[in-house]
Each structure stands twice: as C-alpha cells, then as structure tokens.
C-alpha cells in the first residue's frame, strides 16, 4: 500500500461517496485523529480518511473498492484496544462500524441474541439483563468497546475464570472477507461437525482477514447475589495458595489481583482503601452467595488463610453497592494510570506455572527498571498478568518505548521458557508484532501467513498487524 497525494485522495474518496453517504465519509483532522488511534497512544495516527458504513452491503462494496484500488483498510470498533491493532498510521482508510450497532434478534429458547458488530458491549449486557439473562464477557471498557472488536481480539476480562473468553460465547458470525465475500459462519448452532469451523479463524484475527459485521452470542443465567472479597496478601506465593483453596470450596466467578502501587493510583481518583492495612498485593475474588448461604464458609476460609500467613487482612461485601465499590479498586486501575502513558505487557502462562514465573519476572523487572514505576495487576485466576511500566514525565515517548521494548526481549525469553504467551487478551497488533516468535514457531507463523493470503490475497485488511 502507498501514501496518496491530495488529488489522489480526493478521487478515491469521491469513489467511496458513490455508495456511502457523503456525511459518513470524513477526512477532517479531528475525525482522522479520533478514529485513527486506540488506547496505546504510542503511534501517531495518520489515516487517509474515515468511512462509517451503515449496511453490510456498503461494507462489501467498500472492501471490493479497496481491492480494486489497492487501498488499505483498518476496521475500527470502540478503539479501546491496547496493542495498536486499530491504529491507522500509514495512510489507511479507517472503517468504523459504530453506525451498525443494532440488536437484530433475540431467541429466549436458544438463549441467544444476534447483533451488529458496532453494538457496544454494555448495551448487549443490558439487553440480556432486561430479559433475565446474562452476557458474561466483561471488562472495564464495556461502556465503549464494541462486540466486533471484542470478537476480533478474543477479549477476556474479569470473568474468564468461570465463563471463558469471547470465543466461548460466539455461536455465529457474518463476516466480509478481504476478498469482499460475505460468509455466514455456523449460524448459531451448538453442534456443527460439517468441516472446518471458519468462525474461529475470525475470533482473534484483529481485522486482518476481513470485517466482522454481525454476531450471534450465547447468553446464560445471571450470577446469584455475588459477594466480593478483597484480601491483603504479603507475597506473590500466597496469592496462588489462596486461589487453590478458594476455588475448591466456593463457586468463583472472578479471581483478580493488583499491587499496592496500582492501588495508590486508584485512590488518587477518590476511592477509599478496602481496609487500613497496607500490603504489597491484593486479591479480589467474587463468588455466588444467594441469601448469604456461603458467607460463613468464606469467613472460615479467610481465617484458615490468615493462619497460614497467606493473608493479613480482608473485607467481604455486605451489599451490592459495596461489591461494586470494591470492584472499582481493580477495574479503575487502567483508567487511573492512562495519563502516565504506560507501556503494557499482557502475558499468560499455565496457572500451575504462575508462581515460578512471577518470581523470575519480579526479579528481572526490579533489575532492569530501577528508575521506572512498575505496576502489577491482572486476571491471575486464569494465568493472565498485566505489567504496566509508567513513563516518567520528562522522558520522550519514543525513547521510553524503545527502552521498554529492549527489556521486553528479556521478559519474553523468560516467558518462553515457561511456555507462556506474549499476549493473553490484548492481541498482537503493532506493539507485540516484533515478539511474536516467542510464542509462535516460524513454521506456525508460515501457516498464519497462508491463512491471511487465502482470505485477503491483496493484503488490504489491516496490513502490518500481527506480522508483516
């Protein structure tokens, strides 16, 4: 793909306006800035323009037009991603699905709904809740992230320990491939053994194979009166000991952790400590507790953990309001540190290997980042850890990213030895592309390239993401 002159851009956009309403083809600086970036803020956005199609037919025509003119496309959802997968920095045309946001169908017998890709995650959750059901894929960006983007990154979030990833809740997809073909994949079926399940290729594909336009999602029953506990933990090994005990005794729906350093940033935004004692680490766990049936068991488990020295203090929610406030201690971390332009590592390892990995990485980071503030938090119950390095105010962004990237090489080498992944749920995009070989062998990457070629032979779909 090449950069275009002003006159070439005008001709190209006039061609798009022939089948997408002119008001929805935007080339003004504000639109290009807003739609050309995601939450990474590491790359300067420089899209050609932004197109907001309103129908599947317009998406198909747009992809075919892009093929004819070798025009690069970057699919865009809520742009809450943290890997640079939705960034348009090389003159690409951003394709925003935000106008395609309707819920199209609901089936109470199947416990499923079908929505357009631009539906906001929280809107889907609310729709299900109003019908006595639950869409359990959940995270702090629920109010702005979109279902298409969730699927394209196989989003995980805070309930994975019980409900799994987005992939586990997608029973059907409509996608426009990089060739411009419309595929209707799996059609909401629970069982379907009729050949390759192409649906799963598009889950986690980061817009490199085509554009997701519709999704059919499974729903389930809501959690029954969940209670939340926050526990103060003196060391990392205690966290996994607590998890091993609690998950055998309680019906856990979440098991999160965060460091004291992360908590301090949240407290600056007006929240309060869960208890007076300061500890290096904290665990937040949620479990079903209808009518307080399991409160006594939870308190007994707390006492046992305290006797073992695994925790030193804690609190259990006494109301739904308090439970929500405790959740904010974990969920508000990312927003509270955004002003520091954090360099994020989102890693995963098998749960059994978490303690050994944590110890080795903690030592590495203390040695390599003596002058940077490093925050830990994550979905430790499913082996997913978030490492955030905060940029000093006086350090230039490019220099900061370069320094962090150099240390990432050491970090990922450790991770590789433990059989882990460089990206648990944020995707590869631009930020993790140089490190893909730590997770995927070259032979495997060759197969990924072949799949890309089959669906997108002209390389117009989100080029330069995942691999070159």
Tell me the per-residue pLDDT of 48-81, one tens digit each, with 9 for 90 and over: 999 999 999 999 999 999 999 999 999 999 999 8
- Identify which of 97, 122, 106 has the alpha carbon closest to the alpha carbon of residue 212: 97
pLDDT at 108: 97
- Residue 267 backbone class (left: φ over 0; alpha: ψ -120 to 50; beta: rest): alpha
pLDDT at 359: 84
What's the whole-number average pLDDT of the chain? 94
Domain boundaries, the chain: 6-99, 103-218, 226-334, 337-429
Who contacts 339 (Cβ-Cβ below 8 Å, separation ≥6)?
Answer: none
pLDDT band at residue 1 under the 50/70/90 scheme: low
CA neighbours closer than 13 Å in the CB half-sphere of residue 51: 31
Q: For the chain, how many residues are written?
A: 468
How far apart (Å, rounded) are the C-alpha atoms in residues 431 and 277? 37
Structural contact between residues 103 and 114, judged by C-beta atoms closer than 8 angstroms: yes
Who contacts 42 (Cβ-Cβ below 8 Å, separation ≥6)?
Answer: 84, 341, 343, 397, 401, 430, 431
pLDDT at 358: 83
In 172-253, which residue ranges form alpha helices assigned H by DSSP?
199-202, 236-249
218-258 residue pLDDT tens: 999 999 999 999 999 998 888 989 999 999 999 999 999 99
Structural contact between residues 83 and 429, judged by C-beta atoms closer than 8 angstroms: yes
In 283-439, which residue ranges form alpha helices assigned H by DSSP?
295-307, 320-331, 333-336, 354-368, 397-417
pLDDT band at residue 275 under the 50/70/90 scheme: very high
pLDDT band at residue 42 under the 50/70/90 scheme: confident
Could you tell me the two tokens for 325? Answer: 């406030």
**How many Cβ atoms from other residues are within 10 Å of residue 114's Cβ?**
20
How far apart (Å, rounded) are the C-alpha atoms in residues 441 and 438? 8
The β-bridge partners of 421 are 348
337-429 folds as: Alpha-Beta Plaits (3.30.70)
Instruction: Return the ∠ at Cα 218 (arms to 214 and 219), rounded to 5°.
Output: 125
Residue 120 confidence (pLDDT) above 70: yes
226-334 and 337-429 in the same fold: yes
Structural contact between residues 182 and 214, judged by C-beta atoms closer than 8 angstroms: no
> What's the CATH number of domain 103-218, 3.30.565.10, 3.30.950.10, 3.40.50.10240, 3.30.465.10?
3.30.465.10
Mean pLDDT value of segment 171-182: 98
Residue 371 confidence (pLDDT) above 90: no
398-453 residue pLDDT tens: 898 889 888 899 999 999 999 999 999 989 999 999 999 999 999 999 999 999 99
Residue 329 confidence (pLDDT) above 70: yes
Residue 330 confidence (pLDDT) above 90: yes
> Going by CATH, does the domain composed of 6-99 fall within 3.20.20.70?
no
Residue 356 confidence (pLDDT) above 90: no
Residue 2 confidence (pLDDT) above 70: no
Higher pLDDT, residue 249 or 397 = 249
Tell the burial category of 115 from Cβ atoms under 10 Å away from its Cβ (0-12, 13-18, 19+).
buried
> Going by CATH, does the domain composed of 226-334 fall within 3.30.70.2190?
yes
């Amino acid at each position: 793909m090449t950069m275009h002159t002003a006159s070439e851009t005008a001709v190209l956009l006039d061609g798009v306006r022939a089948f997408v309403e002119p008001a929805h083809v935007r080339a003004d600086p504000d639109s290009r800035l807003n739609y050309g970036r995601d939450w990474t803020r590491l790359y300067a956005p420089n899209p050609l323009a932004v197109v907001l199609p309103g129908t599947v037919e317009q998406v198909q025509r747009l992809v075919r037009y892009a093929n004819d003119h070798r025009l690069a496309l970057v699919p865009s959802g809520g742009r809450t991603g943290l890997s640079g997968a939705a960034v348009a920095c090389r003159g690409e045309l951003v394709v925003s699905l935000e106008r395609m946001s309707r819920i199209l169908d609901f089936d109470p017998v199947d416990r499923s709904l079908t929505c357009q890709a631009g539906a906001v995650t929280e809107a889907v959750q609310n729709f299900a809740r109003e019908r006595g059901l639950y869409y359990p894929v959940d995270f702090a960006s629920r109010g702005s992230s979109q279902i298409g983007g969730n699927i394209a990154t196989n989003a995980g979030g805070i309930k994975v320990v019980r409900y799994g990833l987005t992939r586990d809740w997608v029973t059907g997809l409509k996608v426009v491939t990089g060739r411009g073909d419309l595929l209707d994949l799996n059609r909401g079926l629970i069982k379907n053994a009729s050949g390759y399940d192409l649906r799963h290729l598009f889950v986690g594909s980061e817009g490199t194979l085509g554009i997701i336009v519709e999704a059919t999602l499974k729903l389930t029953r809501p959690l029954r009166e969940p209670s939340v506990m926050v526990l103060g933990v003196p060391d990392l090994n205690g966290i996994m000991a607590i998890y091993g005990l609690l998950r055998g005794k309680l019906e856990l729906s979440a098991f999160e952790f965060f460091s004291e350093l992360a908590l301090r940033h949240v407290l600056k935004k007006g929240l309060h400590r869960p208890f007076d004692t300061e500890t290096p680490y904290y665990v937040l766990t949620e479990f079903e507790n209808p009518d307080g049936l399991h409160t006594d068991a939870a308190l007994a488990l707390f006492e046992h953990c305290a006797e073992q020295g695994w925790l030193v203090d804690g609190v259990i929610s006494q109301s739904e309001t308090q439970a929500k406030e405790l959740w904010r201690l974990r969920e508000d971390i990312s927003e509270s540190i955004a002003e520091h332009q954090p360099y994020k590592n989102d890693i995963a390892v098998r749960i059994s290997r978490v303690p050994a990995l944590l110890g080795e990485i903690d030592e590495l980071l203390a040695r390599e980042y003596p002058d940077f503030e490093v925050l830990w938090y994550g979905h430790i119950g499913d082996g997913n850890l978030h490492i955030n390095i905060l940029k000093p105010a006086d350090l230039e962004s490019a220099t900061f990213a370069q320094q962090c990237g150099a240390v990432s090489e050491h970090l990922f080498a450790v991770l590789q030895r433990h059989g882990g992944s460089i990206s648990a749920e944020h995707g590869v995009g631009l930020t993790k592309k140089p490190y893909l070989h730590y997770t995927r062998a070259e032979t495997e990457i060759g197969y990924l390239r072949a799949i890309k070629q089959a669906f997108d032979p002209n390389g117009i779909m989100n080029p330069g993401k995942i691999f070159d």
